[in-house]
Structure 1
Amino acid sequence: MYTKKQLRLAELGLLIVTIIWGSGFVVVKSATGSLEPAAIVALRFAIATILMCIVFFPRLKRIDKSCIKAGALAGFLYFLAFYLQTLGAKYTTAGKNAFLTAIYVVLVPFLYWIIQKQRPDLYNVSAAFLCIIGIGLLSLNADFSINQGDAFSLLGGVGFTAQIVATAILTQKQDPILLSVTQFGFATIFAAVTSLLTEPISTHLAPDTLTYILYLGVFSTMIALLLQTVCQKYVPASNASLIMSLESVFGCICGILFLHEELSGRILAGFALIFGAMLLSEVKPAFLRSGFRRLSAPPIHSKKKEGSEP
């Protein structure tokens, strides 16, 4: 049993993680003004990899071939997710980028079902319907087209879904810290190669570009990951999910405060539906449980009929 003080400190730590991640959407959006998406991903993960190697240097000797293989797979998926998310940030608002990327919360149970044969519950199915409606309100134009920034953000959410499920499976046999180090390293390599092959070299950098990259590498990646790893040890899963689901809300708030992004009624409704879907999928509100049980239970008269038979 953990003390109440430990629980509150851990919850505060997770809230700080969520604020860091939420503000990261604004930082990424700002960085795309000077750097190309793959370059941003390469630099942020290079910084995080170097810092992780320094902090956990004594443990690095335990990295073996299986860890390297797992890190390569997880690193590729991590690179893909962040690259698509950063592409989305370049062409859409920070608030939209945050909420559309967050669809991974709703998608994870369905991909886990495909791979691990663990069927999603009624909460997950209901959340998926809410999420689809929210995405439609948020992103679909009058002719049912979608702008490229929103499309890349959605694809980034799919990428994070794959990465989360892969990591959940891989960490069953791998040290989470060593897996993080190797996947960060491979994400750096994949992003650097992509940048060199497909992107022009940026020659005119804004004065704050270095600050943006350091923030993403040190705070949004390295510190947030370690703080999350430590704090989740003391916080029940349902509480942790509720706190971390606020990431997209903080992303939206930061977009309004720092980038002066505007919210229409339709966009706000889309945000609300996607956020509601996230809560429904992750937290499974207690007040809905009895209702869902009634929907899935057989009718009362059928139970009586079965009981009356010899």
Structure 2
Amino acid sequence: MKNNSRSLIHKKYFGEGALLFNTIIWGGTFVIVKNSLNDISPMLFVGIRFLIASLVLLPFAIKELKKLDGKSARMGLVVGVFLFLGFSTQTVGLNYTTATKSGFITGSLVMFTPLLQLLIERRKPTLGAMFGSLLVLMGLVFLSVRDTSIWNLFYELGSNFNFGDVMTLLCAIFFAMQIVFLDRASRRINFKALTFLQLSATSMLALLLAFALSAMGVEPVRAEFTGSLMGGLAYTAFLATFITMTVQTRFQKEVSPTKAGIIYSFEPLFSAVFAFFALSERFTLFSFIGCALIFSGLLASELLEKRSSKSKAEEKAEDEEVSLEKNGF
């Protein structure tokens, strides 16, 4: 019994470590994507990125794909649709809002995830996870501040909540939906097949949207395959999509959706660190406070969950002892 419990704990921590590895990789994509979009239209970039990743994965997933029934395939495609909606609304939103507001609003998925976990999976988030989520959200506020006053961020959000902000808010909800639905689907579908379904759905929908926007005269399809763009596609398609999506699909089921949301909130933190070194962007006192709060959120959720688990185990042991005494043992 103890060995089984220890094995579950090891799986949980390994899963959390794997998801944290993903956020480091995703954090590094900010600079690369920013440079790549000088040579290609946004949705075309997303479509090609996910198409390359899905083609790389196909030889490894084809055996499992053949075993899928209709219900499993539909479930996997639904997860892929939410992933696409998250990327597309984020891309559109960035064109109409500031980077400061976009970073903070996208990070609000850390609060949407526990709510959706409760509504969709009927799984109540732990108090530790909720407290950790709140600390992370506070950290994102500080990390998003670009000037000397933290109130300017709230003023900017309140006085000028525009179309781009609405799109970015939808992006946070869609990414939270993807996290929760992935938690359900990954317990039923082989991770290789499920990853392929997500990648291929996102790729096809992004390419369709790219050409639809071009036909409507909204965003022309453009691509100049420079060395910078080719390098950006190689990095994002292989490392930041093929590897990370496979890791996410394989290991996210070892942790709760709420904890996954907390871990994914480290992405803007790592983005800020990469931007500091690669783009010489300023790291302010608010940035350091934000980083400290985000780390505290993860640490608090771990410690409080561990204490809660220990208390439950002690209560169970006491109940068993009382039961044995009643039965004369």
Same fold (TM over 0.5): yes
What amino acid sits opposite 2:154 in the alignment?
A: L
2:299 counterpart of 1:285: no
Change (3 A) 1:59 1:50: same
| Mapped partners of 2:137, 2:19: distance in 1 | 28
2:68 counterpart of 1:63: yes
What amino acid sits opposite 1:191 in the alignment?
A: A
Counterpart contact for 1:75–1:187, Cα < 8 Å: yes
- Find the counterpart in structure 2 of residue 308 from structure 1: none
Q: Which moved more, 1:44-53 or 1:177-186?
A: 177-186
Counterpart contact for 1:37–1:86, Cα < 8 Å: yes
TM-score, reference length from structure 2: 0.69
Identity across matched positions, percent:
27
- Find the counterpart in structure 1 of residue 321 from structure 2: none
SS of equivalent residue, structure 1 residue 174 = coil
Change (3 A) 1:204 1:52: closer
Pairing 1:44-83 to 2, within 5 Å after superposition: 44-83=49-88
Counterpart contact for 2:114–2:130, Cα < 8 Å: no
CA offsets 1:138-185 (integer angstroms, 9 cap, x no match): 343456435777665544322210011111122333223212111211
Change (3 A) 1:218 1:36: same
What's the CA shift for 1:16? Answer: 4.5
- Find the counterpart in structure 2 of residue 213 from structure 1: 233
Change (3 A) 1:150 1:259: farther
What's the CA shift for 1:219? Answer: 0.6
1:194 is aligned, of 199, 209, 215, to 209
Change (3 A) 1:229 1:193: closer
| Mapped partners of 2:289, 2:124: distance in 1 | 29
2:241 counterpart of 1:224: no
| Mapped partners of 1:218, 1:125: distance in 2 | 34
What's the CA shift for 1:225? Answer: 3.0
Change (3 A) 1:186 1:230: closer
2:122 is aligned, of 112, 117, 132, to 117
Change (3 A) 1:219 1:55: same
| Mapped partners of 1:126, 1:9: distance in 2 | 22
Counterpart contact for 2:60–2:192, Cα < 8 Å: no
Q: CA RMSD, aligned part only? A: 4.0
1:42 is aligned, of 41, 47, 54, to 47
CA offsets 1:81-133 (integer angstroms, 9 cap, x no match): 1223344566655x876665343334211111112332333334444544555
Counterpart contact for 1:25–1:97, Cα < 8 Å: no
Counterpart contact for 1:14–1:227, Cα < 8 Å: yes
Counterpart contact for 1:14–1:244, Cα < 8 Å: yes
Counterpart contact for 1:13–1:231, Cα < 8 Å: yes
Q: Which moved more, 1:247-256 or 1:197-206?
A: 197-206
